[in-house]
Amino acid sequence: MFLVAGLGNPGLQYECSRHNMGYRAADALSRLWKMPFKSERMRGFFASGRVADSPAAIIKPTTYMNNSGNCLREAVIKLKVDISDLIVIYDDMDLPAGKIRIRLKGGPGTHNGMRSIVYELNSEDFIRIRIGIGAPPEGVDAIEFVLGCPEEEELKLLDEAVIRAAEAVDMIVRKGAEEAMQRYNK
C-alpha cells in the first residue's frame, strides 16, 4: 500500500501559505485519483481507495507542520505501510519557486516537518517530493516567508508545481519512482 502525505498546517489562516504546498498537492492528488477526503483519522485528513489495482491512501496531518511525524508514525503502523511506499510532499526554500524534485531518500535538511518525520519513523528511506517556493527576499524572516501568501505571479508557478507533484505521485505509483524522477527532475 502506498501512503502519500501532503504536509501543511490546518486552518484558514494557513490555507494560502507557501508552507501548505504539500496540502495543496494532496488535494490535487485527491481530485486526480477521485479519492475524496472523507474523515479525520490518525491525526490527519484521510482519503483511501485503489490506484492501479493496489490500495492507496492520502493523508494531510493535522498535527501542524513541526509535528507531522506523529501523524505519519501512527498511519504507517496502523495501515502497515512499508517505509519505502511512503511518499511525502512538502515545500522547500532551497528550490526555485515552481520547481519540483523527487528523491528516494535522504536527510530532512532544514525543514522542521521533515525532521519530525525522520525522527518519528527513525528512517530516511522514504520517497519525498519537494515543491520549490524559493528563498525569502533579503530582510524577510524565513518563518514569515513560509507562512506568507504568494503574490499572483508566484502563485501561478506554485499552482503548476502542485499539479506536477500530484502527477509525479501518480507516476510513482503506476510506473515506479525511477521513471518519475527521469520525467520530473529536470
Does 19 qualify as catalytic in the annotation?
yes
The DSSP 8-state label assigned to residue 35 in this structure reads -
Q: Which of 19, 43, 60, 128 is catalytic?
A: 19
Within a 13 Å sphere around the CA of 179, how many CA atoms are in the beta-carbon half?
9
**Nearby residues of 127 by Cβ (< 8 Å), 6 or more positions away:** 84, 86, 87, 88, 102, 103, 104, 105, 172, 177
**Residue 29 near residue 166, CB atoms below 8 Å:** yes
Phi-psi region of 179 (alpha: psi -120 to 50; beta: other; left: phi over 0): alpha
Q: Collapse the DSSP code of 117 into the 3-class scheme (helix H, G, I; strand E, B; otherwise coil) and give the result.
A: helix
| Residues labelled catalytic | 19
